[in-house]
Structure 1
């Protein structure tokens, strides 16, 4: 897939290792600053809030500027911010407001970086290689975020808290340097000069007018909302003496490693499955299995069933993600890719907080099995919409 992709893969690996250290280490540091649950929970809010506030703007800017340059700038901003935080920790000047400010900056940079990353890939590899390329990128993200980043964060917190920010700062700087090794131009051939708000409206209009992309976005939104509801209360079903399964905290922790192993496997096999069985059929099958497998630990509440569920869920979710991202990168015009992708992700991920809240509410009122079965049922109800979307290959949309 060429020199440019190799440098992009190296940059992605380095940046996601930094992400894994930061996302795991920040809450660990937060509980050393305060024991107030409301304040600790703000760490998660600060990390995800920029997606709701900035996603559409990030997409519009990715369609105007040099996408590689945006990624370099965001990596360097994160490196500098984290270096400053490392100095604050070393001088014993860390505080909760300072930590939250850092997470907001890092979250905002992630929005712009990830949006540009999904638009720069089709400019770095041939369209027929998008499936394999996305599979390798997802595998690198999973390894960095789940396998390596989390344990490294725990080690650094215990060894030297300042290194919790210093190490990711170096990794983000390395990610920026790797991007400089990419050859070629990464600015869209056609660049809009319209006001930013008008550009955002153009992306939304394309999404709503393109039946395939619109229906896939709605499907993703339904599935992610249901998954968020399910996972928000599953720990109560799985862990503790009074739970249905009776796992210990350490046994439950292994589930994340199993899920990551499944995700790596699925991401690497996705393109091969699509070539053999057809892209649309493979995506719908993966998403159907993704929903059905969540019933396993409910119907068979045992520890092995949880591990099997984690493995299958990781594989199907990652493979489906690789295929749908590659599909969007092929059919959306290059000059609109940033805006439409950001609008798609806003619809696809915007329901996650609502799903988590509903899962807790329904679980408290009607019981955990109602949450689990309801989430699976609603996910499966979205499958005909996905099948219809993929059967109806969208024509270009006038914007």
Structure 2
């Protein structure tokens, strides 16, 4: 276990992140591959992506309120244990021969619900473990751990497990989530935002009314903040389009009747190539931003990623796919580190969980719609129509955000009382 020189609490957080993202990687790649083995219908296959992301649309705002009310580390631990239990049940059903598409979708949906609470609290707890000056460095380390687990190790492992024993696609992540939750116990201390608790002796607002007020405060902050609002809308368009693209891309890439003709193991290797690039992009993000400036670095990453999506469509061959996947990883992870670090600097600590969740509702709420839309359009208009349409939306979003943002995107904000002045200055 390594803290990368950022302290003991960060070391435990980083280690837990690495294990949970290895579990994410197995499930993210293994579930669609299992679905493809059950059906070749684009609509049904796309339901896997929709089930994984639907909880963000439904639960992002409540999860943010929970992250600002409760101990964030404890929320992550409980969410990890819940994911472990849900997937252990699915593994048991698979071992008994009761696995079908609907069991698969239920397992993915249950894991997605817990992920919303875990990830919202994780992004909110990180600034409590390292100084503000180290946020970009710490996010780079976390992002590299996520990519190594999610793609570099998880993807090929998922391809292997699908071929060997389908039950392990659920069983292996269950064990990893349980271990990740246990590691969080090493983060001694309290990780409570401290911004929402009523003062002693003050009248208590009913829970529903209190949550509604707190969520409304976060939404007003986000919508009034030019930088955060622009980033959230752009992220929403990019994620909607990417969800449509990748919900059906497995049909374009895998199988004898596909355009590229990869075996399941080849698809896992594609994600490994992506992860290798993502690790590099995560570690280089801070240096590139220092040279080019945050805005140029971020918009450049988003634009390059959008253009690169065209490569395996224009040239449906592994020779085009694997290099493109490496560059997807470099640009995608670099942009992700920059935008997360900017949010953590711009949002006051007492609002971080709620505003992050409001941002991610806009940024990720369209993902289930995109995944479902991609499947329906592919069913009637063909896979190329979905892939090319998604690329067009990505290019449009990446171009528009450059015009909407100021030259500097991460001016620190230390208190929610400073909102009007900051908003005018940006």
Give me the TM-score of the superposition, normalised by structure 1. Answer: 0.85
Correspondence for 1:151 = 156
Correspondence for 1:384 = 402
Correspondence for 1:180 = 185
Correspondence for 2:201 = none
Distance, in Å, in 1 between the alignment partners of 2:102 and 2:375 is: 30
Q: What RMSD in Å do the two structures reach over aligned CA positions?
A: 3.5
Distance, in Å, in 2 between the alignment partners of 1:304 and 1:346 is: 36
Among residues 206, 212, 234, which one is paired with 1:197 in the alignment?
212
Correspondence for 1:397 = 419
Distance, in Å, in 1 between the alignment partners of 2:375 and 2:45 is: 21
Distance, in Å, in 2 between the alignment partners of 1:237 and 1:162 is: 26
C-alpha displacement of 1:183: 2.7
2:270 is aligned with 1:248: no
Q: Deviations over 1:114-158 (max 9, x none)?
A: 000000000011111111111111111112122222332343344
- Compared CA separation, residues 155 and 382, structure 1 to 2 (3 A): same
8 A Cα contact 1:127 1:330, kept in partner: yes
8 A Cα contact 1:82 1:168, kept in partner: yes
Question: Tell me, what secondary structure is at the counterpart of 1:388?
Answer: coil
Distance, in Å, in 2 between the alignment partners of 1:160 and 1:268 is: 35
C-alpha displacement of 1:230: 4.8
Among residues 5, 8, 13, which one is paired with 2:13 in the alignment?
8
Q: Structure 2: where are the runs of 5+ without partners?
A: 1-5, 199-204
C-alpha displacement of 1:92: 4.5
Among residues 51, 65, 70, which one is paired with 1:60 in the alignment?
65
Q: Deviations over 1:100-123 (max 9, x none)?
A: 433332111101000000000000
8 A Cα contact 2:50 2:367, kept in partner: no
C-alpha displacement of 1:166: 3.0
Task: After superposing the two structures, state which structure 1 stretch, 63-72 or 191-200, moved more.
Answer: 191-200
Task: After superposing the two structures, state which structure 1 stretch, 247-256 or 135-144, moved more.
Answer: 247-256
8 A Cα contact 2:64 2:121, kept in partner: yes
What are the within-5 Å matches in structure 2 for residues 82-231 of structure 1? 82-92=87-97, 94=99, 97-193=102-198, 195-231=210-246
C-alpha displacement of 1:334: 0.8
Task: After superposing the two structures, state which structure 1 stretch, 139-148 or 5-14, moved more.
Answer: 139-148
Among residues 298, 304, 309, which one is paired with 1:283 in the alignment?
298
8 A Cα contact 1:230 1:375, kept in partner: no
Task: After superposing the two structures, state which structure 1 stretch, 209-218 or 84-93, moved more.
Answer: 84-93
2:25 is aligned with 1:20: yes
Q: Structure 1: where are the runs of 5+ without partners?
A: none
Distance, in Å, in 2 between the alignment partners of 1:361 and 1:82 is: 31
- Compared CA separation, residues 367 and 105, structure 1 to 2 (3 A): closer
C-alpha displacement of 1:297: 5.6
Distance, in Å, in 2 between the alignment partners of 1:200 and 1:272 is: 35
Correspondence for 2:340 = 325
Distance, in Å, in 2 between the alignment partners of 1:294 and 1:190 is: 42
Question: Tell me, what secondary structure is at the counterpart of 2:144?
Answer: helix
Q: Deviations over 1:168-195 (max 9, x none)?
A: 2221121111111113320012224551
Number of residue pairs matched by the alignment: 396
- Compared CA separation, residues 103 and 241, structure 1 to 2 (3 A): closer
C-alpha displacement of 1:271: 1.4
Question: Tell me, what secondary structure is at the counterpart of 2:406?
Answer: helix
8 A Cα contact 1:26 1:43, kept in partner: yes
- Compared CA separation, residues 93 and 314, structure 1 to 2 (3 A): closer
- Compared CA separation, residues 57 and 305, structure 1 to 2 (3 A): same
C-alpha displacement of 1:198: 1.3
Question: Tell me, what secondary structure is at the counterpart of 1:114?
Answer: helix
Question: Tell me, what secondary structure is at the counterpart of 1:397?
Answer: helix
Task: After superposing the two structures, state which structure 1 stretch, 110-119 or 156-165, moved more.
Answer: 156-165
C-alpha displacement of 1:15: 0.9
